Amino acid sequence: MVIKGLIFDMDGLLIDTEKLSFEALVRDCRERGFELTLEQFLGIRSLPIPKCEEKFKGYFGEDFDFTDSFAKHYVYMNEHIDKYGVPMKKGADTILKFAKEQGLSIALATSTPLDIAQEYLTSLGLWHYFDKVQSAANIKNGKPAPDVYLAAAALLGLSPSECMAFEDSPNGVRSASSAGCVTVMVPDLSGPDEELTKLIFASVSDLDEATELIKNNME
């Protein structure tokens, strides 16, 4: 196995925003008279916005104003971020610095709109590490379809099999694996089940451990 590039998800992997997103959505839904459960939230992670809207209307009815709700959830998230900053996941800066020093190509493959991703990662001094960036918001089929990883690998000029992809969510793992990437799961809110275990090359506890995994597969 020869790894020439690394492709990273963002939310829940590089930055600890999944919990903030859940808390913000719970707050907004509660204000609208609905209770969003953790199980329901886990079902939408890494999905493109149209798919999230379908899920929410399934949860709360066709009259649920998802567009307004999702916009409000970003307002609530940013209130927290303005006060405390964007929370970075353990080892995010280390793995990107190591990859750059090793001359590996680095891409971002996120479901978050790129303007928001750039804002968050720039605030942490991480944005400049990425050679290419791809948002699922800008392609036809978002995660768990393989499109965003296929696009990210193509931007790097590599085949997916030459890329190690890092994901925290089940839908993200399905996306990277079906694209043909060497997929590593770094669980955030939930770990790999029997299905996901068959799709991944490895599961590691954090990005520091992921850095060691890269080193071991470069030797």
Q: What is the pLDDT of residues 1-45, one digit of tens each?
A: 789 999 999 999 999 988 899 999 999 999 999 999 999 998 888
| 137-151: average pLDDT | 90
- For position 45, what pLDDT does the model report? 80
Active-site option among 9, 11, 147, 188 = 9
- For position 219, what pLDDT does the model report? 57
Does the annotation count 131 as an active-site position?
A: no
Confidence of residue 148 (pLDDT cuts 50, 70, 90): very high
Poorest-pLDDT segment among 91-100, 199-208, 210-219: 210-219
Q: Which residues pair with 154 in a beta bridge?
A: none
Confidence of residue 138 (pLDDT cuts 50, 70, 90): confident
d(CA 136, CA 110): 6
Superfamily of domain 5-16+88-216: HAD superfamily/HAD-like (3.40.50.1000)
| 111-126: average pLDDT | 93
- For position 5, what pLDDT does the model report? 96
pLDDT over 70 (residue 103): yes
| pLDDT averaged over every residue in the chain | 93
| 150-157: average pLDDT | 97
Query: Who has greater pLDDT, 130 or 3?
Result: 130
